[in-house]
Structure 1
Amino acid sequence: MLIDDTLEPTWLQGLSSRNRELLGRVGEVAEACAERADEYDRLAVFPSKDFDDLAAAGLNAATVPSEHGGLGLGPLNGDTLPLWLMTKELAKANLSLGRCWEGHTNSLVLLNALASDQQQARWFDGIVRGGEKWVAWSGEPQARKPGEGNSFGTSITAVDGGWVLDGAKAFATSATGADWAILLVNTAGPGGARHSDGPAEGLLLLACDLSDPAVTVDDSWWDPIGMRATASHVVEFNQTFLPEENLIGTPGAYLHEGWQSAFTPHYAASFLGAAEGAYAYALEYLLRQDKTADPYVQHRVGSMAVNIETAHLWLAHVAQLWDSGRRLEAQRAGNRARHLVEHLALDTVDHCVRACGARSLVRPSPVERILRDLTFYARHDNNDHILATIGRAALGQTHDSSFFKP
């Protein structure tokens, strides 16, 4: 009996015609982005033309609410899976682009959740009409890399009408491409959100106009094995004034309300995009080289197919929990999806390389870049800590669902 493999995947069946059209638009943009991916990787520069194309296609305001002229996607708008599928398509073309896109869209989710009506009207207009790009920066790691003299960190001082910021942030994604950054800074001292032991109430979210001459970029630090085109440089703040009207939400709200957990499964969507890129390469290569009769190749392809479907089903499950308002369940399921999809994606790329051989790792093969990028990006969170957090939750123990601390 023949099986019809053209049946539509279950995760697509519930999408509206409007969201299908959006995904089609993203797919068209992603084709051009894929052609530029190698150049951006080699030069280690922000994929600016990709974002220009996204804005021209009316996609850059994906998570801006519809009443402000955006597409109204994401976990706050009851339409989460289309956003993650968009991210997957862009990450499939270029995982560095997927990460920059994540940072942009997640920042707009925070504005939607925490910014005042006046702030939203001001900033959303710049995004919808001006194509402005946003990002959120917390990274102030206190551990030093070999040869590094100082750890990173910022200090913030209250002054009349706002605050003055001094210091530096590392891993600042889109440093040379973003127009605005949401800075996560702590009044207790260096560390931002992830690396600080200060009280939650000390964490401030402050919008920073990156055209301010008091903000400079040191591009000598970012020389990684992968994710090179995220341009995640060190950003330095020299007596940078941040006005009080740029304070987003109440102090500590980001931690108290667990907003990081809304973004954790979004990382998994990018991992899945990388895996799909490797899978697509493998199918095309194996068919072209007439290697499909090899039973070991068939095993590899079968494993890749199962991995890809499993990852999609998990993301669809987590998205449904967010859309139905089951926040606690969504947070826990999102961590599980993040943990599992990392393994599924890395396993898929490994199957691709083993089935296609060493030539798949020779440029201009995209698998060479996918392997480097995914290996690096999967370190964004410590997966051992994520799994321990999942275990603590299952045991009913106190746990941090956002930053995976005991």
Structure 2
Amino acid sequence: MTVDIDKAVTQVAELARDRFADRAGEYDRDATFPAADLDDLFAAGLNAPTVPVEHGGLGLGPLRGDAYPLWLMTTELAKADLSLARCWEGHTNSLVLLDAFATGEQRERWFEGVVRRGEKWVAWSGEPQAPKPGEARRFGTAVARTADGWVVDGSKAFATSATGADWAILLVSLAGPGGARHAAAGDSVLLLACDLRHPSVTVDTSWWDPVGMRATASHVVHFDHTPIEGAWQLGEPGDYIRQGWQSAFIPHYAASFLGAAQAAYDYALRYVERQDKGGDPYVQQRVGGMLVALDTARLWLAHVARLWDEGHAEEARLAGTRARHVVEHLALSTVDHCIRTCGARSLVRPSPVERILRDLTFYVRHDNDDHILATIGRGALGRHHDASFFKP
């Protein structure tokens, strides 16, 4: 089977421009999962980019030696709606994990569900252990072995696509609450595939009311003695941390940041043209700054993708962390240049810049950039560093 990757990237861009961008404002206001967008991607045969070609997908991603086209698709979706891009990231990254860890039988079952029925996947780790001020509850899961597999009890927060996904890869710790990010020991982290349609899985929509990324529907999800078949375990405990899979997904965040910045730049160019402000030297400086930032971000992503594609995994992980740090600041500065160029009216709805500012400001908090930069420094100094979750 021959796959035309360039055509697929173009199709994603066209859908994002012609359909998804118009829906983004409503999804944001209602804080609802962008279901119609994902359905359109499925109808176009574009919802399985990281599924191997032999299973009906496009065979993209860092595992398959073709990372950059996947990140280009993500950038195009983020230009229309950064929340949509985050849901897409969760889905496509989960399929990478299935490709990496699933047995032959698991692959046949789950890839068919994606390709033939449009099933949506996510991977959830979020179990923050420190409550925010005024918050009494704590999040976390406990997992127990049974004769038939596993039972999961507890809750996860920041559960992206909670009201839209069909399956989740649960990152749970055998040592107790903490998921993967807050697990005391990486060797305790286990990957379990969970059918979210089971009646023991419920979604609490009252908690997710953020300033940005509202349409990711990243609610709290409760598990009440949820059964997981033994045949739904992926790999062995500790594989996710030991093999560094989180670091493979870090540059994917940067691709989303880049898309949001590109949307702000495009808005600014249209504004300058309509207002005939192209002769203003300060506007020229702002536009120049935006263009250089976007070009730099693309070069970083292409560099990291090339390292993955050529099999230089360790170099790719280190470069991906640097790219994520750099692109965060390039994207934020691009949005700032856009706002300074276009003025306060660019922050009045229905201007997309108002949403882009909220979404990007919120999404870059996914990781603490101070810890990211310190991690980069520790690596340069030859000191022990955590390239997955940037723990000090």
TM bin (shorter chain): over 0.9
The answer to whether residue 137 in structure 2 is matched with residue 146 in structure 1 is no
CA distance in 2, matches of 1:196, 1:74: 27
Post-superposition CA distance 1:19-48 (Å, at most 9, x none): 221111001110200000000000000000
Q: How does 1:359-378 map to 2 (within 5 A)?
A: 359-378=345-364
CA distance in 2, matches of 1:165, 1:121: 25
Post-superposition CA distance 1:32-79 (Å, at most 9, x none): 000000000000000000001100111000000001110000011111
Q: Which residue of 2 aligns with 1:349?
A: 335
- Matched position secondary structure for 1:206: strand
Q: 2:170 aligns with which of 183, 197, 200?
A: 183
Matched AA of 2:175: A
Matched AA of 1:215: V
Q: 1:323 aligns with which of 289, 300, 309?
A: 309
**TM-score (normalizing by structure 1):** 0.95
- Matched position secondary structure for 1:345: helix
Post-superposition CA distance 1:107-166 (Å, at most 9, x none): 000000111111111100000001000000000001112221121001111111111111
Post-superposition CA distance 1:265-289 (Å, at most 9, x none): 0000000000000000000011011
- Matched position secondary structure for 1:378: helix
Task: State how many pairs are aligned.
Answer: 390
Matched AA of 1:165: V
Q: How does 1:198-347 map to 2 (within 5 A)?
A: 199-347=185-333
Q: 2:64 aligns with which of 70, 74, 77?
A: 77
- Matched position secondary structure for 1:404: coil
CA distance in 1, matches of 2:377, 2:41: 40
CA distance in 2, matches of 1:41, 1:116: 38
Unaligned runs of 5+ residues in structure 2 are: none
Post-superposition offset of 1:17 = 9.3
Q: Which residue of 1 aligns with 2:75?
A: 88
Q: Which residue of 2 aligns with 1:113?
A: 100
CA distance in 2, matches of 1:96, 1:118: 33
Q: 2:115 aligns with which of 100, 125, 128?
A: 128
Matched AA of 1:194: R
Post-superposition offset of 1:187 = 0.9
Post-superposition CA distance 1:169-190 (Å, at most 9, x none): 0000000000000000011010
CA distance in 1, matches of 2:157, 2:189: 18
Matched AA of 1:50: D
Matched AA of 2:200: A
CA distance in 2, matches of 1:107, 1:39: 27
**TM-score (normalizing by structure 2):** 0.98
Q: Which residue of 1 aligns with 2:4?
A: 18
Contact 2:49 2:70 in 1 (8 A): yes
Indicate the percent of aligned positions where both proteins have the same amino acid.
Answer: 70
- Matched position secondary structure for 2:211: coil
- Matched position secondary structure for 2:112: helix
Post-superposition CA distance 1:258-312 (Å, at most 9, x none): 0000000000000000000000000001101101110000000000000000000
Matched AA of 1:185: V
Matched AA of 1:54: L
CA distance in 1, matches of 2:74, 2:340: 27
Q: 1:50 aligns with which of 20, 37, 46?
A: 37
Q: Which runs of 4+ in 1 moved over 6 A?
A: none
Matched AA of 1:147: G
CA distance in 2, matches of 1:309, 1:19: 22
Matched AA of 1:168: S
Contact 2:48 2:115 in 1 (8 A): yes
Q: 1:66 aligns with which of 53, 58, 80?
A: 53
CA distance in 2, matches of 1:17, 1:24: 13
- Matched position secondary structure for 2:109: helix
Q: Which residue of 2 aligns with 1:6?
A: none
Matched AA of 1:276: Q
Contact 2:372 2:390 in 1 (8 A): yes
- Matched position secondary structure for 2:128: coil
Matched AA of 1:21: K
Q: Which residue of 1 aligns with 2:26?
A: 39
Unaligned runs of 5+ residues in structure 1 are: 1-15
- Matched position secondary structure for 2:191: strand
Q: Which residue of 2 aligns with 1:98?
A: 85
Post-superposition CA distance 1:210-243 (Å, at most 9, x none): 0000000000000000000000000000010111
Matched AA of 1:303: G
Post-superposition offset of 1:196 = 1.6
